[in-house]
Amino acid sequence: MPDPSKTEKATAKKRRDERKKGNVFTSKDVVAVMSVLVVFTVVSIVFPMIVERLSYISNRFFDFASTEIELTQEFISAMTFDIIIVCILILSPIVGTAILTAIVATGIQTRFLFATQALKPKFSKLNPISGFKRMVSLKSVVELVKNLIKIIIIIFVVYNFIMDKVSDFSTTLELEMPQAVRLILTSIMELIYNVCVIFVFIAAADYFYQRWNHENEMKMTKQEVKEEYKQMEGDPKIKGKIKEQQRKIAQSRMMQQVPTSDVVIKNPTHYAVALRYDIEKDRAPIVVAKGQNEIALKIIEIAEEHDVYVMENKELARTIYATAEIDQDIPFELYSAVAEILALVYKIKEKQI
């Protein structure tokens, strides 16, 4: 029975790990039905050839039976060779198509997974207790019931079909061999078609059941999800990616603040700091953005695009960059120098107005 504590859907990591182990859901009924349908189609196409070959070999037997021919070793070998060739010609397209269809049908469901881990021997499977548990599990019971239903359906369909065709089969004794062979093969094809139509619906139901059952087996407890998250957080690569993403988000947010600044102080391309001062809200000028090299050039570019005054002051730019963080006040010892720059900026703005 499914574990009631496993209430969480499988994470992407667990799905990847289970897939590497070869743990993916497949419906054997879908594979079987697709194989039969494709083989049925191929047989329908090569049906005239099958009838011709069987008629040929049967006619040869009857011809030899009606004549007095000595059964030598050479004669028996020749007849055996002819039979083998006829069987190969008839069965090759059928068997080849069945194998190829089974591979494709399974591959479509598993996305053509080839898991080497699944090929490794597992000694736990030799444990009789584990084997007994698998035998009495809910899944095995469902499979047993499903197989019994399929057997009952096949018996019912075959029985009704034979009862309907009894009179037709009795006439084969009055027909010539090619006609009798054609009648029997046509009846067999009709029977296969009737069974396939029914089993298409069974295969569809089995596919959805197998998918549902696989999802239930893949479920995790809340504790397992937490543990997996902790493991992922501890991975240096994951941590690096998270930090890189956080840095990009912070940088993007910082760039959005540049147009709101009052002045950008640069040095001249290696450092740039953007300052904002609202006399009603801020007790001191605040650093809204800062950066080196490419980031500094980007800050300057955005400032110029939004008519923010850009001033070059090498020492002051380097000092503010080194001593003040983003969204923080500038150090007290820099108040005087920054105040002079802001006063100059305000005068320039007043003249422009």
Mean per-residue pLDDT for 319-344?
88
Asked if 267 and 206 sit in the same domain, the reply is: no
Strand (E) or helix (H) holding 38? helix 28-65
Residues 55 and 196 occupy one common structural domain: yes
Length of the chain: 353
For residue 337, being part of any structural domain is answered with yes
Query: Are 226 and 319 contained in the same domain?
Result: no
Q: What is the CA radius of gyration of the chain?
A: 40
| pLDDT digits 0-9 by tens, 128-148 | 555 555 555 666 777 788 888
Phi-psi region of 331 (alpha: psi -120 to 50; beta: other; left: phi over 0): beta
Identify the domain containing residue 117 by its residue range. 12-230
For tokens 């150090």, name the residue: 331
Q: Which of 186, 203, 230 is the last residue of a domain?
A: 230
Same domain assignment for residues 280 and 165:
no
The tens digit of pLDDT for each residue in 268-310 reads 778 999 998 888 888 889 898 998 888 899 988 988 888 888 9
Question: pLDDT of 59-96, one tens digit each?
Answer: 777 666 666 666 667 767 877 887 788 788 788 888 88
Domain check: are 224 and 307 in the same one?
no
Specify the CATH number for the domain of residue 271.
3.40.1690.10
- Judge whether 3 lies within some domain: no
Asked whether residue 2 is domain-assigned, the answer is no
Domain assignment of residue 211, yes or no: yes
**Percent of the chain at pLDDT exceeding 70:** 82
Separation CA 263–CA 285 (nearest Å): 10
Mean pLDDT rounded to a whole number for the chain? 79
Domain boundary among 209, 230, 251: 230
Q: Tell me which residue of 313, 321, 261 sits closest to 295, measured CA to CA.
A: 321
Q: Is 6 a member of any domain?
A: no
**Same structural domain, 18 and 81:** yes
For 235-261, b/e burial (b = at least 16 CB within 10 A) is eeeeeeeeeeeeeeeeeeebbebbeeb
Tell me, yes or no, whether 117 and 136 share the same domain. Answer: yes
Domain count, the chain: 2
Q: Specify if 7 maps to a domain.
A: no
How many angstroms separate the CA atoms of 88 and 53, rounded?
A: 11
> Residues 218, 258: one domain?
no
Within-domain flag for 5: no
Same domain membership, residue 61 and residue 138 = yes
Assess if residue 22 is contained within a domain: yes
Write the pLDDT tens digit of every residue in 92-126.
Answer: 888 888 889 888 888 888 877 766 555 555 545 55
* Burial environment of residue 42 by CB neighbours within 10 A (0 to 12, 13 to 18, 19 or more): middle
**Are 192 and 283 part of one and the same domain?**
no
Last residue of a domain, one of 196, 230, 264: 230
Residues whose CB falls within 8 Å of the CB of residue 330, separated by 6 or more in sequence, listed in order? 275, 284, 285, 286, 287, 320, 323, 324, 338
Same domain, 30 and 174: yes
Strands 309-312 and 263-266, by their bridges, are: parallel
What per-residue confidence (pLDDT) applies to 175?
67
Residues 215 and 262 in one domain: no
